[in-house]
Chain A
Amino acid sequence: MSEAPLLAVENLSVAMGATPVLEDVSFQIAPGETLGLVGESGCGKSVTALSVMRLLPNPPGKFLGGRILFDGTDMLSLDIAALRAIRGDRIGMIFQEPMTSLNPVYTIGDQIGESLIVHRGMNGSAARTETAKLLDLVGIPAARNQLDRYPHELSGGQRQRVMIAIALACRPKLLIADEPTTALDVTVQAQILDLIGRLRVELGMAVLLITHDLGVVAEFCDRVAVMYAGRIVEEAPSAELFRNPRHRYTEALLHTMPAANPPGRKLPSISGTVPAPADRGAGCIFAARCRFAIPRCSTDLPPLTEPPHRLRCWNPA
């Protein structure tokens, strides 16, 4: 990364009420780059996305420290008006559930056009023309007729296409996609990922992809950051990380996947569950479940090493 990063999250710590959910999270995304943020439920990947957009409900969400620099501006220092000017304009976002993310009482044309009217100051008919183009772009053909349809008239895949059209209406520099294909079938997922991938190149935007699906990350992202219990434990270029996982959690996660094992063979499983925040000691949070833990792991928190293969582990593979 020789270029100045488009997004730099530095030492971000966030709590929900009294519970820490993000601790010392740092990563960067260069312009046009795709970063995958992976981890299991509750690891803090969605909170990270919401924090970047400053969409974390407050209360209970609280920023405890760190900076979120987007194009050089600290998102945490901006007031509401300045944030609104960035959201939907320079940063677009799509969510997991395309049904609940669309407002059922407005047509899809209205919903896509809204952000053009708000951010670009377009009038109704100009917005409509541009909206039709956007629908074409996201692969909803015969766009003119589609503008007046309501979300419930569309399938799950089409609704996600509409969400993408909304997110891309103002040609953002950064797209944050939070589990964009989790609710979709695998063949539809392939269509949507293909679409996001093509649009990324066409529009030259960076993508922060949040998912629990390691396969999706491996195929889609330039770089991957693995999160566990609110911390980034490993980060590397995607090919490198999947060929040579070094953190014991990443390694265990990859080994436990059915696809990585011969059919019928017992899966190497990770014992136990993620400890509750109250039960976390001073050391590495994964230590209690780790087969390679050494005494030091439960007493000292390993630091995150330097790029290109960043790592938070005392006894890596």
Chain B
Amino acid sequence: MSTLLEVTDVATYYAAQGATIRAVDGVSFTLAGGEVLGIVGESGCGKSTLGRTVLRLVEPTAGSIRFLGEDITKLDRRAMVRRRRNMQVVFQDPFGSLNPRHRVGEIVVEPLEVHGIGDARSREARVSELLALVGLPPDAAGRYPHEFSGGQRQRIAIARALVLEPKLLIADEPVSALDVSIQSQIINLLAELRVRLGLAMLFISHDLSVIRHVSDRIAVMYLGRIVEIASTSEIFDSPSHPYTQALLSAVPHTDPARRRERILLSGEMPDPAHPPSGCAFHTRCRHAMPRCSGGRPLLTSRPTQAGPREVACYLY
């Protein structure tokens, strides 16, 4: 599979209350066409900012983002608009991501209007097609978002994102606001659409079991950096970074066989305005050595049966 997205040393800093927040701090990864890369981490790790940076909803402070072979960080606004045909997004909050004053039909047709695709009739046909694709009744087009449940609203958001037939979908916590029984419907829908449309996805979530279910590969983030990236089976079968291990062990399971020995982390995630020196995790790591607070460990790649595994840890 060819490389669709290549993110190299991307950093996104914010100024907030006089300090610089390093939300994303030197992140690199690649995504092949049709592949799903899960990005997992806890709040404040920068996963959402990373997604927004890839879409250039937030401007990167440094680094390059090559999409379909072209560095999109250099594009002006007009050129960027054209690239947006191929990269779309679904957000977490199905109550905030749809304009309450627009009918569902207007919401889904908007991307076609913006990009001047088709005429009124063909657009209408396309909207009906998309509504059917995501499993909404045909009369949905004439109704307002507030008439729908959370799960249905997420279907509307997905229809809008897919109407342009993008190559890349960034799904930012798309099922986190939904109940378990609705969550599975949306996960199934995304999985089905992925196969049908050959869609690549950047699937951002804090929920490890969801990430495990949908992703081919997983990147684990801590304090603005990727600490480990590998195939899903590698991450879950033999997590290598101490943070990945702690994260996986913290997930409660209904099946006793799936429970891991819990590694309780002490303290809280450090302030991203003042990250610790060296490895950002060393303040909470049970394996921390003097060396860890000195230089920062870089992602080191090793081959495994299921593709390369990269870990940023001196133990590895």
Which residues of A are at the interface with B, using a C-beta cutoff of 8 A?
A: 40-41, 155, 157-158, 185-191, 193-194, 212-220, 239, 242, 252-254, 256-261, 263-264, 266-271, 273
Contacts and interface: CB of A to CB of B under 8 A. Distances in A.
B254 A187 contact: no
Contacts of B253: 215, 218-219, 259
A60 B206 CA distance: 36
A126 to B, nearest CB: 31
Nearest to A245: B254
B265 A191 contact: yes
18 contacts: A40-B179, A41-B179, A186-B206, A189-B250, A190-B250, A190-B264, A193-B252, A212-B180, A214-B254, A218-B253, A239-B256, A261-B213, A264-B214, A267-B184, A267-B188, A269-B188, A273-B149, A273-B182
Contacts of A189: 250, 252
A190 B246 CA distance: 10
Nearest to A262: B213
B251 A186 contact: yes
Contacts, number: 119
A269 B185 contact: yes
B255 A260 contact: yes
A251 B48 CA distance: 34
Nearest to A195: B264
Contact of A186 (B181, B208, B254): B208
Contact of B151 (A190, A214, A273): A273
| SS of B interface (majority) | helix
Contacts of B212: 258-259, 263
Which 4 A-B residue pairings sit nearest by Cβ, starting from the closest? A215-B252, A259-B209, A185-B42, A258-B213
Contacts of B213: 258-259, 261, 263-264, 267
B252 A188 contact: no
Interface string B182-209: 1111011001100000000000001011
Interface centre among B149, B151, B213, B256 (most CB of A within 10 A): B213
Interface residues of B, number: 42
B180 A186 contact: no
A213 B43 CA distance: 18
Contacts of B246: 187
Interface in B250-284: 250-256, 258-259, 262, 264-265, 268-269
Contacts of B254: 214-215, 217-218, 242, 254, 257, 259-260
B131 interface: no
| SS of A interface (majority) | helix
Given A40-B180, A187-B265, A242-B254, 8 more contacts: A40-B181, A185-B42, A185-B43, A185-B206, A187-B250, A215-B253, A263-B213, A270-B184
B210 to A, nearest CB: 5
A215 B188 contact: no
A259 B180 CA distance: 11
Contacts of A264: 191, 213-214
B98 interface: no
Contacts of B151: 273
B157 interface: no
Contacts of A190: 249-250, 252, 262, 264-265
Nearest to A154: B268
Contacts of B262: 190, 194
A213 B252 CA distance: 9
B12 interface: no
